[in-house]
Amino acid sequence: MTGEAKLREQICLLAKSMFDRGLTGGSTGNISARTEDGGLLVSPTGTSFGRLDPGRLSRFDAQGRLIDGDKPTKEMPLHTAFYDTRSTAGAVVHLHSCHSVALSLMPDADEDNFLPPLTPYGIMKLGKVKLLPFFLPGDPAMGEAVRGLAGKRSAVMLANHGPVVAGKDIEAACNAIEELEDTARLAMLTRGMNPRMLTEAEQQALITKFDVEWDV
Protein backbone atom coordinates (compact mmCIF):
# COMPACT_ATOMS: atom_id res chain seq x y z
CA MET A 1 0.00 0.00 0.00
CA THR A 2 1.37 3.43 -0.95
CA GLY A 3 1.80 6.27 1.52
CA GLU A 4 -1.16 8.09 0.05
CA ALA A 5 -3.36 5.00 0.18
CA LYS A 6 -2.50 4.57 3.86
CA LEU A 7 -3.30 8.23 4.53
CA ARG A 8 -6.66 7.89 2.79
CA GLU A 9 -7.52 4.89 4.97
CA GLN A 10 -6.34 6.68 8.12
CA ILE A 11 -8.46 9.76 7.41
CA CYS A 12 -11.57 7.62 6.98
CA LEU A 13 -10.82 5.45 10.02
CA LEU A 14 -10.31 8.41 12.36
CA ALA A 15 -13.32 10.27 10.96
CA LYS A 16 -15.55 7.22 11.53
CA SER A 17 -14.21 6.84 15.06
CA MET A 18 -15.21 10.43 15.87
CA PHE A 19 -18.61 9.99 14.20
CA ASP A 20 -19.31 6.73 16.05
CA ARG A 21 -18.64 8.46 19.37
CA GLY A 22 -20.98 11.36 18.61
CA LEU A 23 -18.31 14.04 18.13
CA THR A 24 -19.98 15.18 14.91
CA GLY A 25 -23.23 13.97 13.39
CA GLY A 26 -25.07 13.72 10.10
CA SER A 27 -23.03 15.23 7.29
CA THR A 28 -21.30 17.76 9.54
CA GLY A 29 -17.57 18.27 9.98
CA ASN A 30 -14.67 18.15 7.55
CA ILE A 31 -11.12 16.86 7.60
CA SER A 32 -7.98 17.25 5.50
CA ALA A 33 -4.36 16.15 5.47
CA ARG A 34 -1.15 16.94 3.57
CA THR A 35 0.12 14.36 1.11
CA GLU A 36 3.80 13.55 0.61
CA ASP A 37 3.93 15.64 -2.58
CA GLY A 38 2.56 18.77 -0.88
CA GLY A 39 -1.03 18.29 -2.00
CA LEU A 40 -4.14 17.74 0.10
CA LEU A 41 -6.71 15.05 0.72
CA VAL A 42 -10.03 16.55 1.84
CA SER A 43 -13.44 15.19 2.82
CA PRO A 44 -16.00 15.94 0.10
CA THR A 45 -18.92 18.30 0.61
CA GLY A 46 -22.09 16.83 2.09
CA THR A 47 -20.45 13.62 3.29
CA SER A 48 -20.73 11.92 6.66
CA PHE A 49 -17.68 11.22 8.80
CA GLY A 50 -19.20 7.80 9.39
CA ARG A 51 -19.23 6.86 5.72
CA LEU A 52 -16.23 8.45 3.99
CA ASP A 53 -14.91 6.56 0.97
CA PRO A 54 -11.08 6.57 0.72
CA GLY A 55 -11.29 6.51 -3.08
CA ARG A 56 -13.60 9.53 -3.31
CA LEU A 57 -11.72 12.01 -1.11
CA SER A 58 -11.07 15.32 -2.84
CA ARG A 59 -7.44 15.38 -4.04
CA PHE A 60 -5.60 18.66 -4.55
CA ASP A 61 -2.12 19.05 -6.02
CA ALA A 62 0.62 21.19 -4.47
CA GLN A 63 -0.66 24.24 -6.39
CA GLY A 64 -4.12 23.93 -4.85
CA ARG A 65 -5.88 22.55 -7.91
CA LEU A 66 -8.55 19.85 -7.54
CA ILE A 67 -7.23 16.93 -9.58
CA ASP A 68 -9.31 13.96 -8.43
CA GLY A 69 -12.21 12.85 -6.28
CA ASP A 70 -15.50 14.52 -5.38
CA LYS A 71 -16.19 18.23 -4.84
CA PRO A 72 -14.52 19.32 -1.57
CA THR A 73 -16.10 20.71 1.56
CA LYS A 74 -17.36 24.28 1.37
CA GLU A 75 -15.11 25.05 4.36
CA MET A 76 -11.93 24.87 2.25
CA PRO A 77 -11.04 28.50 3.14
CA LEU A 78 -10.72 27.40 6.78
CA HIS A 79 -8.37 24.57 5.90
CA THR A 80 -6.18 26.52 3.48
CA ALA A 81 -5.88 29.39 5.97
CA PHE A 82 -4.26 27.07 8.50
CA TYR A 83 -1.97 25.44 5.93
CA ASP A 84 -0.90 28.81 4.54
CA THR A 85 -0.14 30.40 7.92
CA ARG A 86 1.23 27.46 9.93
CA SER A 87 4.23 25.71 8.39
CA THR A 88 3.83 22.83 10.88
CA ALA A 89 0.23 22.05 9.83
CA GLY A 90 -0.06 18.57 8.35
CA ALA A 91 -3.79 18.11 8.96
CA VAL A 92 -6.90 20.13 9.86
CA VAL A 93 -10.11 18.89 11.49
CA HIS A 94 -13.41 20.71 11.98
CA LEU A 95 -16.24 19.23 14.06
CA HIS A 96 -19.69 20.26 15.29
CA SER A 97 -19.06 18.80 18.75
CA CYS A 98 -21.86 19.64 21.19
CA HIS A 99 -20.08 20.66 24.39
CA SER A 100 -17.61 22.99 22.71
CA VAL A 101 -20.47 24.64 20.83
CA ALA A 102 -22.44 24.92 24.09
CA LEU A 103 -19.50 26.63 25.78
CA SER A 104 -19.23 29.09 22.88
CA LEU A 105 -22.85 30.16 23.54
CA MET A 106 -22.11 31.27 27.10
CA PRO A 107 -22.11 35.06 27.54
CA ASP A 108 -18.88 34.97 29.56
CA ALA A 109 -16.91 32.86 27.03
CA ASP A 110 -13.31 34.12 26.85
CA GLU A 111 -12.53 35.22 23.28
CA ASP A 112 -8.77 35.08 23.70
CA ASN A 113 -8.49 31.90 25.77
CA PHE A 114 -11.67 29.92 25.14
CA LEU A 115 -10.93 26.82 27.22
CA PRO A 116 -10.71 27.20 31.01
CA PRO A 117 -7.54 25.68 32.56
CA LEU A 118 -9.16 22.55 33.96
CA THR A 119 -6.66 19.85 32.92
CA PRO A 120 -3.03 19.83 31.77
CA TYR A 121 -3.85 18.23 28.43
CA GLY A 122 -6.06 21.04 27.16
CA ILE A 123 -3.07 23.34 27.55
CA MET A 124 -0.46 20.86 26.30
CA LYS A 125 -2.29 19.81 23.13
CA LEU A 126 -3.96 23.10 22.15
CA GLY A 127 -2.30 26.12 23.70
CA LYS A 128 -4.70 29.05 23.73
CA VAL A 129 -7.86 28.54 21.68
CA LYS A 130 -9.21 31.68 19.99
CA LEU A 131 -12.99 32.14 20.00
CA LEU A 132 -14.05 33.63 16.67
CA PRO A 133 -17.44 35.27 16.05
CA PHE A 134 -20.32 33.67 14.18
CA PHE A 135 -20.01 33.36 10.41
CA LEU A 136 -22.42 31.81 7.93
CA PRO A 137 -21.28 28.27 7.05
CA GLY A 138 -18.94 28.37 4.08
CA ASP A 139 -18.26 32.09 4.41
CA PRO A 140 -14.69 32.79 3.20
CA ALA A 141 -14.47 35.35 6.03
CA MET A 142 -13.83 32.45 8.41
CA GLY A 143 -10.60 31.74 6.57
CA GLU A 144 -9.68 35.41 6.64
CA ALA A 145 -10.25 35.47 10.41
CA VAL A 146 -7.83 32.55 10.79
CA ARG A 147 -5.30 34.28 8.55
CA GLY A 148 -5.60 37.32 10.77
CA LEU A 149 -4.13 35.27 13.62
CA ALA A 150 -0.89 35.03 11.60
CA GLY A 151 -0.31 31.38 12.46
CA LYS A 152 -0.17 32.01 16.21
CA ARG A 153 -2.98 29.60 17.11
CA SER A 154 -3.32 25.91 16.29
CA ALA A 155 -7.00 25.90 17.23
CA VAL A 156 -10.00 28.17 16.94
CA MET A 157 -13.59 27.90 18.08
CA LEU A 158 -16.24 29.17 15.67
CA ALA A 159 -19.02 30.59 17.85
CA ASN A 160 -22.34 28.74 17.54
CA HIS A 161 -20.68 26.37 15.05
CA GLY A 162 -17.72 24.22 16.08
CA PRO A 163 -13.97 23.86 16.69
CA VAL A 164 -11.22 23.78 14.06
CA VAL A 165 -7.78 22.36 14.92
CA ALA A 166 -4.53 22.01 12.98
CA GLY A 167 -1.93 19.38 13.91
CA LYS A 168 1.40 18.11 12.65
CA ASP A 169 -0.38 15.07 11.22
CA ILE A 170 -3.86 13.62 11.05
CA GLU A 171 -3.59 11.70 14.31
CA ALA A 172 -2.28 14.71 16.24
CA ALA A 173 -5.05 16.94 14.88
CA CYS A 174 -7.75 14.43 15.83
CA ASN A 175 -6.30 13.90 19.31
CA ALA A 176 -6.16 17.64 19.90
CA ILE A 177 -9.72 18.36 18.78
CA GLU A 178 -10.98 15.53 21.00
CA GLU A 179 -9.12 17.12 23.90
CA LEU A 180 -10.82 20.43 23.09
CA GLU A 181 -14.24 18.81 23.23
CA ASP A 182 -13.39 16.92 26.46
CA THR A 183 -12.27 20.13 28.16
CA ALA A 184 -15.39 21.96 27.00
CA ARG A 185 -17.50 19.10 28.34
CA LEU A 186 -15.80 19.35 31.73
CA ALA A 187 -16.39 23.11 31.70
CA MET A 188 -20.10 22.65 31.05
CA LEU A 189 -20.45 19.81 33.57
CA THR A 190 -18.85 21.89 36.32
CA ARG A 191 -20.36 25.23 35.33
CA GLY A 192 -21.60 27.12 38.38
CA MET A 193 -19.85 24.72 40.78
CA ASN A 194 -16.72 26.83 41.32
CA PRO A 195 -14.31 24.08 40.14
CA ARG A 196 -10.65 24.24 41.06
CA MET A 197 -8.77 25.57 38.04
CA LEU A 198 -5.07 25.09 37.44
CA THR A 199 -3.23 28.00 39.00
CA GLU A 200 -1.18 30.46 36.95
CA ALA A 201 1.99 28.83 38.30
CA GLU A 202 0.76 25.35 37.31
CA GLN A 203 -0.16 26.56 33.85
CA GLN A 204 3.21 28.20 33.36
CA ALA A 205 5.00 25.06 34.49
CA LEU A 206 3.13 23.09 31.81
CA ILE A 207 3.87 25.68 29.13
CA THR A 208 7.56 25.62 29.98
CA LYS A 209 8.01 21.86 30.44
CA PHE A 210 6.13 20.87 27.28
CA ASP A 211 7.21 23.85 25.15
CA VAL A 212 3.60 24.91 24.50
CA GLU A 213 2.85 27.62 21.96
CA TRP A 214 1.30 30.28 24.14
CA ASP A 215 0.44 33.43 22.25
CA VAL A 216 0.11 36.38 24.59
Question: Could you give the residue numbers annotated as active site?
Answer: 75, 121
Find out whether 52 and 12 touch, Cβ atoms under 8 Å: yes
107-136 burial, b for 16+ CB within 10 Å, e for fewer?
eebeeebbbbbbbbbbbbbbbbbbbbeebe
Contacts 24+ apart (CB under 8 A), 103-108: 103/157, 103/184, 103/187, 103/188, 104/131, 104/157, 104/158, 104/159, 104/160, 104/161, 105/159, 105/160, 106/191
Find out whether 123 and 117 touch, Cβ atoms under 8 Å: yes
